[in-house]
Amino acid sequence: MFAALKSALHSATTQHYRLLRKTYSAEELYGYSLYTDDSLCSIGPVANTSSQIAAAATDPMYNYYRYGPHEWSLWADHGLFDEANDILKAIHADQSLDFDSKRDGMLKAAFVALTEAEAEGLFGPRTPTRFLALWLSDSADPIMVEAAKALNSHDVFSAFCSEYANKN
């Protein structure tokens, strides 16, 4: 089931990001995240553009808004994540695994889907501005920092950590 989830998330992410790129340039579309919460009852994308950051670069809250997917603007998944969410429901219904095992498997599937898409060049080259994330709303799960480190340039990861590494 986790392999099917990874495959569905990879496919949905690829289709979704390509759809976004029909509207936004690579320079404007700086942020992309798979977004869920600690219960993992659903997962979807959220993205942001440079012009939609809710604070100016000189504002002390800039990194909070720039690197916090919960503050981003582009939430529509266009139905592309329905299959992945159906798989999540099936995993939750499986009585052969405890919740922690399910949760770990689902998070790993999401992390690998993003990692593979990034390695394939979907999001373009790592730059000092592009930011990718695996985000769990209202969570302190270490996978968020692990993903930020694995998916971004050192400078972007450092900027993310300045706001979120010890605060999420």
Nearest-10 crossing angle of helices 2-21, 82-93: 160
CB 34 within 8 A of CB 143: no
- How many Cα neighbours within 13 Å face the side chain of 112? 13
pTM attached to this predicted model: 0.95
* Residue 117 to residue 136: CA distance in whole angstroms: 19
Quickly list H helices, 39-142: 62-67, 82-93, 99-119
* Residue 116 to residue 108: CA distance in whole angstroms: 12
For 20, the token pair is 């976004």
CB 30 within 8 A of CB 48: yes
For 55, the token pair is 């604070």
How does pLDDT run across 6-50, given as a tens digit for each residue? Answer: 999 999 999 999 999 999 999 899 999 999 999 999 999 999 999
For the chain, the average pLDDT equals 96
How does pLDDT run across 49-86, given as a tens digit for each residue? Answer: 999 999 999 999 999 999 999 999 999 999 999 999 99
Handedness of CA 165, 155, 61, 27 (dihedral sign): negative
